[in-house]
Amino acid sequence: MKNIPFIDLAAQQARIRPEIEQRIRAVLDHGQYIMGPEVAELERKLAAFAGAKHALGVSSGTDALLVAVMALGIGRGDAVFVPAFTFPATAEAIVVAGATPIFVDVAEATANMDPVDLARRADETAKAGVLKLRAVMPVDLYGLPADYAAIRAVASRYGMKVIADAAQSFGGALGGKRVGSLADVTCTSFFPAKPLGGYGDGGAVFTDDDGLAAVMRSIRVHGQGGGKYDIVRLGLNARIDTLQAAILLPKLEILADEVSRRQAVAASYARHMQNRVEVPVIPSGYESAWAQYTIRVDDRDGVATRLKAQGVPTAVYYPKAMHHQEAYRAFAPKGALPVSDRLGNRVLSLPMHPYLDDELVAYISKAVVEAAAAR
* pLDDT confidence band for 194 (50 / 70 / 90): very high
Does residue 100 or residue 227 have the better pLDDT? 100
Phi, psi of 217 (to 5 degrees): -65, -40
Contacts of 17 by beta carbon, 8 Å cutoff, 6+ apart: none
22: pLDDT strictly greater than 90:
yes
Q: How far apart are CA 195 and CA 245, in angstroms?
A: 15
Does domain 9-104+112-253 sit in CATH 3.40.640.10?
yes
- So what's the pLDDT on residue 136? 98
- So what's the pLDDT on residue 107? 98
- So what's the pLDDT on residue 334? 83
The CATH fold assigned to 255-373 is Aspartate Aminotransferase, domain 1 (3.90.1150)
pLDDT in tens, 198-236: 999 999 999 999 999 999 999 999 999 998 899 999 999
pLDDT in tens, 308-329: 999 999 999 999 999 999 999 9
Mean pLDDT of 17-44: 98
Query: Where exactly does CATH 3.90.1150.10 map onto the chain?
Result: 255-373
For CA atoms 212, 157, 121, 170, the dihedral sign is: negative
| Chain mean pLDDT for the chain | 97
| pTM tops 0.75, yes or no | yes
- So what's the pLDDT on residue 171? 98
Mean pLDDT of 96-119: 98
Cβ–Cβ < 8 Å for 66, 238: yes
Query: Where exactly does CATH 3.40.640.10 map onto the chain?
Result: 9-104+112-253
DSSP letters, 294-310, are EEE-SSHHHHHHHHHHT
pLDDT in tens, 66-96: 999 999 999 999 999 999 999 999 999 999 9
DSSP letters, 202-231, are -EEEEES-HHHHHHHHHHTBTTB-SSTT-B
* pLDDT confidence band for 335 (50 / 70 / 90): confident
Nearest CA among 135, 200, 194, 134 for reference residue 166 = 194
365: pLDDT strictly greater than 90:
yes
Nearest CA among 229, 351, 335 for reference residue 295 = 351
Does 293 sit behind a cis peptide bond, omega within 30 degrees of 0 on the bond before it? no
- So what's the pLDDT on residue 1? 57
pLDDT in tens, 110-153: 999 999 999 999 999 999 999 999 999 999 999 999 999 999 99
